[in-house]
Structure 1
Amino acid sequence: MKHIKILGITGGVGAGKSTILSYLAQQYGARVIELDKAAHLCMQPGTSCYEQIVDRFGKKILKEDGSIDRPVLSRIVFADRQEVEALNHMVHPAVKAYIRKEIRKERESGKVPFVVLEAALLLEDHYDEICDEIWYVYVEEETRIRRLQSSRGYTPEKTRAVLKNQKSDEEFRRFCQFMIDNSSDNVENTYKQIDRGLMTHGFL
């Protein structure tokens, strides 16, 4: 079985993580797994995670086709911290099991140079136990506000409220092994940092 390193990518909302993921996949052929999308798969009908969620929250969270209506579920859980924790205790282990299985598949096939995991909460969810390194995507606050206004229609007030609830820049820097500054509108600057990081940190 080929040893393939696991690279975690994290950063706050509006950091432009998708730009980094696309480059890693297209330029280097990395397998990219976004944890939010993995959670969607783990919550599909027929999975044990799905059954646990329906048992806990009832059929009122289901769409007509039997799938989980995520906006409805979100409204229920985010009104109660205990319900958030209950949901996380169902979903997070299922996602980690899925991630480990996919990593094992990639190592057995030996077709990709490395695997990339992406989530805003990689550090909080202790993905350092899976990743060889976790890299932080940094963007200046005013640039993030401008980009979120443009891409998501956020007001500056809403953006600042979102940013306030996330890890601070200092915390990200303390716990991550490399930082990509994605503040420039010239994406080539970001690509050069990625290239250098992969080379100097042993991913190539």
Structure 2
Amino acid sequence: MRVIGLTGGVATGKSSVARFFQERGVPVIDADQLAREAVRPGSPCLAQLVALFGAGVLNPDGGLDRKRVGSIVFGDAEKRRLLEAVLHPEIRRLAEERIARAAEAGQRTLIYMAPLLIEAGVTDRVDEIWVVTVRPEIQLERLMARDGIDREAAGRIIASQMPLAEKERHGRVVIDNSGTPEETRLLLAAIWEQERAAHHE
């Protein structure tokens, strides 16, 4: 089974690209979803995070306050490292479980969608990398619209990530999602047709 790592920057449209392939029967594993699952109430991971950062990281319902954790580790390399040391092994375990299940079910191709695939050094989990990218000004506008933030705040978030141009260099396939949703769908349909022909699917 071929595992495609799908990645890209913030607000580049990774989820809508993944949805296109999902509609064509390709299973998608979302690393963000796995990260949420790893810290569900009652999980050992959540208990470790409370021990590390205090009970203030919990919501009233006992779930993890992801925004609160984000604000604690943002700009603090040591705290971020502690967080990742708890989360990454569990995300890896969940990912490997899902990948094995898809292989057993006879799937030929699977998409592993992870925004930090390259940065987190987990490229060994995938066979190849596909990068979703957009023109910088479009990324800025989409992020402002999506999160309801101003240009300066959006710029800060983008600046804290690996530059898109650098990510693109890692991609065997680079998907430019700068156009309309319809243009992107046409582009994806052409890529998928090519891929299926190349892999005899």
TM-score (norm 2): 0.88
Letter of the 1:61 partner, please give it.
V
Offset of residue 96 of structure 1: 0.8
Confirm whether residue 78 of structure 1 aligns to residue 57 of structure 2: no
Q: Is 1:96 matched up with 2:92? A: yes
Moved more, 98-107 or 62-71: 62-71
Q: Which amino acid aligns with 1:181?
A: D
CA displacement at 1:39 relative to structure 2: 0.4
Question: Residue type of the partner of 2:53?
Answer: F
Extract unaligned runs of 5+ from structure 1: none
**Residue of structure 1 equivalent to 2:120:** 125
Structure 1 residue 22 and structure 2 residue 19: aligned?
yes
State the partner residue of 2:52. Answer: 56
Shift of 1:202: 3.0
Instruction: State the distance in 1 between where 2:161 and 2:144 align.
Output: 18
Using the alignment, how far apart are the partners of 1:195 and 1:167 within structure 2?
27
- Alignment equivalent of 2:43, drawn from 41, 47, 53: 47
Which amino acid in structure 2 is aligned with residue 192 of structure 1?
A
Residues 1:47 and 1:19: Cα distance change in structure 2 (over 3 Å): same
Q: CA deviation at 1:98?
A: 0.6
2:88 counterpart letter in structure 1: H
* CA deviation map 1:176-199 (0-9, x unaligned): 211111111123333234314533
1:180 is matched with which residue? Answer: 175
8 Å contact kept, 1:137–1:182: yes
C-alpha contact (below 8 Å) 1:184/1:190 kept by paired residues: no
Could you say which residue in structure 1 is the equivalent of 2:151?
156
**Residues 154/171 of structure 1: CA separation in 2 closer, same or farther (3 Å cut):** same
* Partner amino acid, structure 2, of 1:15: T
Q: Partner letter of residue 141 of structure 1?
A: P
Report deviation, 1:201. 5.6
Cα distance in structure 2, aligned partners of 1:165 and 1:58? 26
Corresponding residue to 2:195 among 185, 193, 198: 198
1:180 touches 1:193 (CA, 8 Å); kept in 2? no
Farther-moved stretch of structure 1 (135-144 vs 160-169): 160-169
TM-score between both structures, scaled by the size of structure 1: 0.87
C-alpha RMSD of matched pairs (Å) = 2.0
Residue deviations 1:40-91 (CA, integer Å, cap 9, x gap) = 0000123221221122122222233322222222222325321111001100
Amino acid at match of 1:75: S
In structure 2, stretches of 5+ residues that fail to align are none
Contact 2:119 2:162 in 1 (8 A): no
- What SS is found at the alignment partner of 1:171? helix
C-alpha deviation, 1:102, in angstroms: 0.8
Answer whether contact 2:3 2:128 (CA < 8 A) is retained.
Answer: yes
1:200 CA drift (Å): 5.9
> Aligned partners of 1:98, 1:179: CA distance in 2, in Å?
27
Instruction: Tell me if structure 2 keeps the 8 A contact 1:10–1:122.
Output: yes
The question of 1:68 aligning with 2:64 is answered yes
Q: What whole-Å deviation, never above 9, does each CA across 1:125-180 have from its counterpart, x for those lacking one?
A: 12220101110111111222222233322323332222222222332122221111
1:136 aligns with 2:136: no
Q: Is the 8 A contact 1:29 1:113 kept in 2?
A: no
